[in-house]
Amino acid sequence: MDPHDRVIALMKEAGIPVTRENYIATNWGEPVPEWTSELEAELPEELQDWSLFELKGQEPKLKK
């Protein structure tokens, strides 16, 4: 994990486990916006899960 990531630092200070779900909720709030490949790319690399996407045409789309 990037030690300079402000969201991760905030989560650790608050005692929130650093998981993908917690990071998304902390960074984007509730309700979570419609998830896109652009938002996925904004996650720290170790929390990204590209298996949730499939390539449709030239762009990755969230699997249903």
Query: Any alpha helices (H) in 1-64, and if so which ranges?
Result: 6-14, 20-28, 37-42
Go through the chain and tell me how many residues it has. 64
DSSP, res 43: S
Boundaries of every domain in the chain = 6-62
Give me 12's structure tokens: 């650790």
- Pair 11, 18: CB distance under 8 Å: yes
pTM of the model: 0.83
Ordered per-residue pLDDT tens for the chain, 64 residues? 666 789 999 999 999 999 999 999 999 998 988 999 999 999 999 999 999 999 888 788 888 7
Biggest CA–CA distance in the chain, Å, is 42
